Structure 1
Amino acid sequence: MLKVKQWAWVFGLALLTQISFAQQKRSLTHADYDGWENLSSEKITKNGQFVGFQISPQDGDGRIEVFPFKNPTQKVIIPRGTSFNFSSDDQYAIGKITPQKDSIRVLKLRKKKADDIPKDSLFILNLTTRKVEKLPRVKSFAIPTEKGSWIAIHFEKELPKKDAPKDSIATNKTDSTAKIEKPKKTDGTKLLVRSLDGAKTWEFERVKSYSFTPNGDFLQYTLAEEEKADNAAVYLLNLSTGESKLVHEKMTTYSNLVFSPQSAKLAFIATDDSLKAKKPTHTLYIYDIKEGDLATQVEKSALKLENSRISPDGSLRFSEDESRLFFGVAKDYMDYAYESDTTILDEERVSLDIWGWQEAEIQPMQLKNKSQEERKTYLATLNLLDFSITQLGTPEVEHVMMENKITKDFALAWTDAPYRRSYSWDIQIGRDLYSVDFKTGTRTLIEKNASGSPRLSPEGKYAYWYDARDSSWVAYDLESKAKINLTKRISVPFYDEIHDSPSLPGSYGSEGWLVGDAAILINDRFDIWKIDPKNPTSAVSLTLGEGRKKQITFRREQLKADETSIDPKELLILSAFNELTKDNGFFTSTYEGKSAPKQVLMSAHRYLGIRKAQESNQVIVRRSTYRENPDIYLTDLTFKTLTKASNLNPQQAGIKWGSVELVSYLSNDGTPLQGLLFKPEGFDATKKYPMMVYFYERNSETLHNYRAPAPSRSTINIPYFVSNDYLVFVPDIKYDLGLPGPSAYDCIIPGVQAVIAKGGVDTENMAIQGQSWGGYQVAYLITRTNMFKAAGAGAPVVNMTSAYGGIRWGTGMSRMFQYEQTQSRIGGTLWEKPMYYLENSPLFTMDRVQTPVLIMHNDADGAVPWYQGIEMFMALKRLNKPAWLLQYNGEDHNLVQRKNAKDLSVRLSQFFDHYLKGAPAPLWMTEGLPAVEKGKTLKYELGN
């Protein structure tokens, strides 16, 4: 046995080893971002025997990993694999292989032509033998969705042979003086169709598009037209016999090809007009696969809507019983004398926008939606039994809501046209709701000015929606024409209980209907209710109120991807989230509501992306914490054991990462709030750390979210700052209507004070940073307090009076609704509440600011007017306050281009390091970046 002194020596050695290892860890740098991996496209075979997923670095070459569910160590790794799927027979994994990014970059630096750049390849992995087959220069591929072991591979354009003459690759003459013919231009390329094992193959040239029937019995392929040749065509390949049959030919274009659900019919749209024609006429065709001939064709003259045409911009869809085909009809092309006047030069044509007060939508919104409006179609249906056409959508009621699977002879339709003019300031306008009969096109009014987004129950007995004006769920019995309030007599609220804006509160959603429309499942904040529309007073809480009692949010996990209604005999799997502790997990229950949910897994993690095998109980799920990557775990519906199957970012073990804890505190008005405190590795409360404070609405529920190091699109990257020995605090904010600025102050400052009281904060070196709504609050706070040594404000609104009447250029909408109803929370017009706009606008008190500010506002911002950032900067410049404005050219609200995000990350860290850590200021801060130096230097260099 070891003596006490020996134990002390062993313990001391272990402690020294841990300290030594900790000291070997390094801080994150901006160079770490590119190699940081994320996981996506996780899939499990229908039989549950194999799992696969894609792992990709932020910039670089990724991979696909495929392995047996029972032995995840036996992985087959496909370097640079992407876009993969399992075959419908669970025997193969198929996907693309992208070229090496470094090689592509080198070739681009050498100014190589597009044809000289490597193209994607295809891989076919045999899951049994683990052998991988590869095919080069692949444009796309497809496999049947339901059954059949087939693949269609569309190749890139073939390159001319190196030894062929420059202007040709073939000749049809035999003598030496024969004229060499150039290949005819065409959009089509080679298509290879084969069994996945390679036993059967067919090749077709000049293919433009292709697709399989759902059951894998047939494949259609369309041949592209050659230059000066009338030879475009549609063919059908019978995969059992290998026979390829002509369906139609000699049209200019074929489009919208779609098979019926049972693979009995093929529909498509075609035109013989020139590709350059401004007003082409299209025809709709239906091909009977069994009979082997065209069953019918629909010409423009057969349409019921006046001055209309068949449109290729509308999708084609069959009903599930294949008795109907739905297609799009558009208004006919109009002739405008001014447009077609060839005596007017282009430079003589007038270009202007006229804003009319009476129009439903303002001009910027019309311009934003112009291309969509030009392609607008109205739904029509063709009865394939008697070939009659019924117009369903019209300019008066244009929206017809079709289900994923069309099984009924009617649908819901709606219009908001009578209320659309108010949309610029009231985004919760109503809509007139109808049912529309497929046979006659007759519309029956359900409700005028309905609030909500109605849907049909699976059996079509009810229309149902959440009525925000009444804070209730309602159903409409389509047979008795009676409206039913489903939740009014239930004692708990079904509206968003923490809603804090001037708009009507939303709901917590519904979970679906039981078989036969017997009952609907509706969520309150915590629990799930089973409600029979025929007897709403008999509503039952499936979770017996345990959620509200224990502050746990229960939600049903939908495990069938194609589910239409819920079988009440099945086990009810519930996700669970504890609002107080933020623990997450799963419970089981039944649809009877007679017993409390049983906990099967609950832990201090976040679980997400649960996927169940279609034919077994095997399950894959991701799990994360702030320290744990969201890796894939294997389990079953008991959740008794979880086997880790991926290992993202092993390099993290050598990096100082830190931790996060939940902080509870009271706002200035006594409201209990929570926030997240991220602490550096080896945090010592007796030391003092600089602290960053970031905020945006509420974030405490993200306690167990993994946050990857990444270039900043607009906000500080928390892992980067924590790894570099900053504290980062993220407080929750609750708002009082009309007081967004004071509300932020009353929630953020007490939160900061609560963190200071815990110890370890260098109160002389604290900063705040936020973007958009957070950027506004940063601008407001620095007019109210000098407790922060530096501030970063991204896309801040500083003048609500000028922003109120502006445009959100990303949508073309007026900004009025934001101030009256949503995030800005003023709750009235500028002329109704002028003082609220003034008192919440930090621009008017910029003379109080003593805090250096780094502003980012980009000149293509589609959400917050760019001039808001300019107004803030110019005020501070005029007041001789330290301020910098970063304006990324052509960038939107948040940075899109990675190069710019990397640049912002560097400048954010340099700015805050200078003010909070005393690091030298970079040259861009001390010297600026004059226009004559733009694009020539970045000025990251630090001064003395």
Structure 2
Amino acid sequence: MKKLLCLAVVFSAALLQAEAQEQTAKKTLTHDVYDSWKGLAGDKISNNGKYVLYNIDPQEGDGDLYIRNMVNNAIAKYNRGSKASFTNDNEFAVFQIKPEHQKVRALKLKKKKGDDLPKDSLAIVNLQDMSVVKVPRVKSYKLPKEGSGWVAYHLEKPLAEKKEDKKSDAVEGEKKADAKKKSPKKNKDAKGTELVLRNLRTGQEQRFSRVTDYIFSEQGNMLYFVKDELDSLHRAGVFAFSTAEMKEMPIDTGRVTYKGISADKAGEQLAYVASADTVGADIRYFSLNYWNTKTRRNQVLADTLAKGMPQNWMVSEHGNLSFSEDGKRLFFGTFPRPVRYEKDTTQLEEDKVSLDIWTYKDPLIQPMQLKQNDRTLKRSFLAMYDLKNGSMQQLATLEMPDVYLDAYKTGDVALGVSDEKYKITIGYDTPTRKDAYLIDLKKGTTKQILTGTRGNPRVSPMGKYVYWYEPMDSSWHAMSTRGGDNINLTKQIGVPFYEEFNDMPVLPDDYGLAGWVENDALLLVYDQHDIWKLDPAGKRAAVNLTDKYGRQNNLRLRYEKLDSEQKFIPANAELYLSGFNLSTKADGYYKDYLNKEVKPEKLVSSDHAYSSLSKAKNSTLVTFRRGDYRNYNDLYASSLSFANVQQLTDANPQASEYKWGTVELVEWKSTDGIPLQGLLYKPENFDPTKKYPMMVYFYERSSDRMHAHRTPAPSASTINIPLFVSNDYLVFVPDIVYQNGYPGESAMDCIIPGVQMLVQQGFVDDKNMALQGQSWGGYQIAYMVTRTNLFKAAMAGAPVSNMTSAYGGIRWGTGLSRQFQYERTQSRIGGTLWEKPMQFIENSPLFFADRVQTPLLIMHNDNDGAVPWYQGIEYFMALRRLNKPVWMLVYNGEEHNLMQRKNRKDLSMRMSQFFDHYLKGAPAPVWMEQGVPSVVKGKDYGLELVGKPEVARELED
């Protein structure tokens, strides 16, 4: 027995030693591993559930498309496949193949662009034997929405034609002139290329030249397309091809422009707009045109002279054309005829005055107008043509620009919504008020039903009710479209339907809704935890559909819509719900019934994040994503019962080779005694007897993301948590609760006690802690370093430093005034600058810059449309004058968060260098010690480590 015991001890010791060696052998994440990390995208299930496809793509470079047979688990891999789809009959998969990344890059280095770069190809896979047909130089492809057996694909301009174009431009002389006289004049601006219709089963093809646009009917019985004009013998036009008759039919030819082709559900009716005016005309007049398979005759339904067209209005070329579900109505866009301005040929361009005129009467301030110019010029107002009665009705107007229809567009009532009277308050009064109107589609009358609501009224799927959440009383409302009272549906329930954790000085928003039950019988809405059945007529009492199970178990239950085409929830539906535990952060799926009084049934729940639940149309197979901090959100499959869960992908197997660390939920109380949660990320092989440097990153509340996977990737603005944890940093992510009027102090009151709680546990090196955050987080860091010297270094991305100057500024990305943000939303001051001047000053770090002793790195980019660049400049200039250690990174042309990958990589390296220098004693890089003069910009980046190190610090035993 002693021998066996000794052997067991030796064996256990050997196992522990092997595990330790395995952990020791793991690599540390570095900036050069980013490109090896891949992402999962584009997953789809065939209708019969027999096949699943998905893409696994690197962050930069060539990815792969996979098609998996769920019956025998055979997997086919296709290099560079993208934009993949299954056909409705489950027989084929179709996708595009991207050009090789390195080949494209090599050509770009040679200054090649446009047509000189390689183009996509098309691949058609027969799922029975996985044989592949490939077609080069394909722009796009389309499949029928419901039908099968056909694919249409649009080709790029042929290489030979492209070369001939260049050659003909260079050729001159009499020979060319003579040829031109003998042949029709060609349209040099022609953009049309060949469209191919392919029978997927037989391989037979039909080809159509000069095509610019094309659509399938839903069933695939018709292919409609637009041709560009080539010359006087080959005119522009709209054409149809019947896949049943295998016959091409011209619908309309001879005009200059055809746009917006749209077919009805049956594919038997077509609408489009057309113009005979030249492209360069000051005003181009379009007409609404109609064709059907019965008469096969083109009709003009509406133009400037049409009965029902408002005076001086015209058909819009930018409006969306759509038929009602039953094909009896056609909806299109109109707009007021623009003013024609005569060109002044006596004035030079350089003599023209360029200015913006701001007035207090403008509904929208000039920056918003400028930002919306393109949208304003392309704006259209909804109109309807009744195909049965042959009459037009204008629905939307200048005073009532937004009109909403029922899901089928067959009801006799529409809803008009307008904020026109209240636009002048945009920028400080939020949510914006609106008026609502009922439009009778038979009588053509309009009746106002709501005045100044702060909700967003909409129409139920069958058009029986108008419904909305009203922030003014935190309740859901409904109103019959047949005439009836405004009914408060939730006032008597006694449960909050507003966001209970709202801590902004603004009316709280709602938790959302699951949708409508068949025939507009019930409206399903959420409280914080559960789902409620509301009778829109107000006759039956509200019922907690999930039997208070969510509130009793501190779960957040939400409906999972498994059919993307679903317009309503069936009356006898089985409901599949996501279930997130607000205490433990566990996630999963539950099952409930619309018409059974039973508690939700737990199907699966674990310490993971679940997402992207999808179901095969004609099978019980579902796919979903599952992951956690350590494990990527890979794709899984199961039945609807979630039995026999099968992992389908392993996108990043190399992750096991690296030190990753762990995450845990921590709790503490704020200075005011408010219970708080946060996330603590610990390094691999964490030793509680050692002391570790700690990064503190935050943005509002993040603890619900405990099981979110964080991929090693170059940063747009914040630290990459896995990278810092892999490099033996602790990372603390605290939640913050705010008090109105004191945003900076609120951050202090929540963060500092959390940091102190962790320090007291003995494993945090309190002499080597740092802060990092972006935007709102960046502001709080800029504020905190004026109030505490607890941190050895800090990095603030795009911080507001002076609320008094920022308050009156513009969010250049939208043209919106910044006032609303400080008064009512994130900045949480709760009043105007003249009402609360001292709170604006007290919360502005600029006014206390002389107190800063913490070395600060700022990133603020010169094209930031969210936080004005001058906010970073103001703070930097104050700290520079005070001789405080401060650096500012300005990425030229970049926005609030970095968009370009090269810049993200650069920022990631500089942040690591900055924090490693201050918290780990690493040498400082050239850019910190000596700067980078503008004369060597783009040539020398100053990343070399040459500066003197801080006093070296070893992890304490």
When normalised by structure 1's length, the TM-score is 0.97
Query: 2:582 matched to which residue of 1?
Result: 579
Structure 1 segment 127-526 matched on structure 2, within 5 A:
127-160=127-160, 167=167, 185=188, 186-226=190-230, 231-302=235-306, 303-336=308-341, 340-526=343-529
Native 8 Å contact 1:282 1:312 kept in 2: yes
Report the number of matched residues. Answer: 937
2:154 match: secondary structure:
strand
Query: 1:753 matched to which residue of 2?
Result: 756
Query: 2:65 matched to which residue of 1?
Result: 64
Query: 1: distance between equivalents of 2:214 and 2:484?
Result: 46
Query: 1: distance between equivalents of 2:852 and 2:336?
Result: 58
Query: 2: distance between equivalents of 1:614 and 1:579?
Result: 32
Native 8 Å contact 2:638 2:646 kept in 1: yes
With over 3 angstroms needed to count, the CA separation of the structure-2 counterparts of 1:440 and 1:346, relative to structure 1, is farther
Native 8 Å contact 1:623 1:631 kept in 2: yes
With over 3 angstroms needed to count, the CA separation of the structure-2 counterparts of 1:604 and 1:349, relative to structure 1, is same
Query: 2: distance between equivalents of 1:211 and 1:537?
Result: 46
Is 2:792 the counterpart of 1:800? no
CA-to-partner distance for each residue in 1:152-199, whole Å, 9 max, x for gaps?
111111112899897359x9xxx9999598986421111111111343
Native 8 Å contact 2:860 2:890 kept in 1: yes
Greater shift, 349-358 or 535-544, is seen at 535-544
Query: 2: distance between equivalents of 1:163 and 1:844?
Result: 65
CA-to-partner distance for each residue in 1:330-355, whole Å, 9 max, x for gaps?
11020235xx2222211111111111
CA-to-partner distance for each residue in 1:811-864, whole Å, 9 max, x for gaps?
101100001110000000000001110111111111111100000001111010
Query: 1:39 matched to which residue of 2?
Result: 40
Query: 2: distance between equivalents of 1:76 and 1:759?
Result: 53
1:713 match: secondary structure:
coil
Native 8 Å contact 1:230 1:251 kept in 2: no
Is 2:854 the counterpart of 1:851? yes
With over 3 angstroms needed to count, the CA separation of the structure-2 counterparts of 1:731 and 1:166, relative to structure 1, is closer
Is 2:727 the counterpart of 1:705? no
Name the amino acid aligned to 1:413: G
- CA RMSD after TM alignment: 2.0
The percent identity for this pair of structures is 48
With over 3 angstroms needed to count, the CA separation of the structure-2 counterparts of 1:569 and 1:328, relative to structure 1, is same
Compute the displacement of 1:227 (Å): 5.3
Query: 2:101 matched to which residue of 1?
Result: 101
Query: 1: distance between equivalents of 2:178 and 2:881?
Result: 80
Native 8 Å contact 1:624 1:704 kept in 2: yes
Query: 2: distance between equivalents of 1:628 and 1:565?
Result: 36
Is 2:879 the counterpart of 1:909? no
CA-to-partner distance for each residue in 1:843-893, whole Å, 9 max, x for gaps?
111111110000000111101011100011011101110000001111110
CA-to-partner distance for each residue in 1:73-120, whole Å, 9 max, x for gaps?
x11111101111111211111110001101111122223354332111
Native 8 Å contact 2:283 2:340 kept in 1: no
Is 2:824 the counterpart of 1:821? yes
CA-to-partner distance for each residue in 1:354-382, whole Å, 9 max, x for gaps?
11011111111111111111111111111
Query: 1: distance between equivalents of 2:612 and 2:406?
Result: 24
2:239 match: secondary structure:
strand
Greater shift, 769-778 or 31-40, is seen at 31-40
Query: 1: distance between equivalents of 2:839 and 2:168?
Result: 74
Query: 2: distance between equivalents of 1:569 and 1:104?
Result: 54
With over 3 angstroms needed to count, the CA separation of the structure-2 counterparts of 1:817 and 1:152, relative to structure 1, is same
With over 3 angstroms needed to count, the CA separation of the structure-2 counterparts of 1:227 and 1:908, relative to structure 1, is farther
2:426 match: secondary structure:
helix
Native 8 Å contact 1:35 1:60 kept in 2: no
Query: 1: distance between equivalents of 2:577 and 2:420?
Result: 40
Query: 2: distance between equivalents of 1:234 and 1:909?
Result: 59
Query: 2: distance between equivalents of 1:774 and 1:827?
Result: 19
Greater shift, 849-858 or 436-445, is seen at 436-445
Name the amino acid aligned to 1:153: Y
Name the amino acid aligned to 2:860: H
2:115 match: secondary structure:
helix
Query: 2:633 matched to which residue of 1?
Result: 630
Query: 2: distance between equivalents of 1:803 and 1:346?
Result: 36
With over 3 angstroms needed to count, the CA separation of the structure-2 counterparts of 1:681 and 1:293, relative to structure 1, is same
Native 8 Å contact 1:677 1:727 kept in 2: yes
Native 8 Å contact 1:515 1:566 kept in 2: yes
Native 8 Å contact 1:148 1:217 kept in 2: no
Query: 1:49 matched to which residue of 2?
Result: 50
Greater shift, 829-838 or 107-116, is seen at 107-116
Structure 1 segment 414-813 matched on structure 2, within 5 A:
414-535=417-538, 538-592=541-595, 594-813=597-816
Greater shift, 613-622 or 300-309, is seen at 300-309
Name the amino acid aligned to 1:632: L
Greater shift, 328-337 or 50-59, is seen at 328-337
Greater shift, 919-928 or 284-293, is seen at 284-293
CA-to-partner distance for each residue in 1:673-700, whole Å, 9 max, x for gaps?
1000011111111111111000000000
Query: 2: distance between equivalents of 1:164 and 1:229?
Result: 21
Native 8 Å contact 1:490 1:537 kept in 2: no
Is 2:117 the counterpart of 1:117? yes
1:20 match: secondary structure:
helix
Name the amino acid aligned to 2:219: N
Native 8 Å contact 1:543 1:593 kept in 2: no
With over 3 angstroms needed to count, the CA separation of the structure-2 counterparts of 1:881 and 1:208, relative to structure 1, is same
Query: 1: distance between equivalents of 2:579 and 2:383?
Result: 44
2:57 match: secondary structure:
strand
Greater shift, 750-759 or 624-633, is seen at 750-759
Compute the displacement of 1:620 (Å): 0.4
Native 8 Å contact 2:408 2:462 kept in 1: no
Native 8 Å contact 2:406 2:463 kept in 1: no
Query: 1: distance between equivalents of 2:206 and 2:795?
Result: 61
2:871 match: secondary structure:
helix
Query: 1:13 matched to which residue of 2?
Result: 14
With over 3 angstroms needed to count, the CA separation of the structure-2 counterparts of 1:252 and 1:748, relative to structure 1, is same
Compute the displacement of 1:603 (Å): 0.7
Query: 2:953 matched to which residue of 1?
Result: none
Native 8 Å contact 1:69 1:634 kept in 2: no
Greater shift, 587-596 or 921-930, is seen at 587-596
Compute the displacement of 1:536 (Å): 5.7
Query: 2:877 matched to which residue of 1?
Result: 874
Native 8 Å contact 2:287 2:300 kept in 1: no
Compute the displacement of 1:897 (Å): 0.8
Query: 2:955 matched to which residue of 1?
Result: none
2:760 match: secondary structure:
helix
When normalised by structure 2's length, the TM-score is 0.95
Name the amino acid aligned to 2:47: K
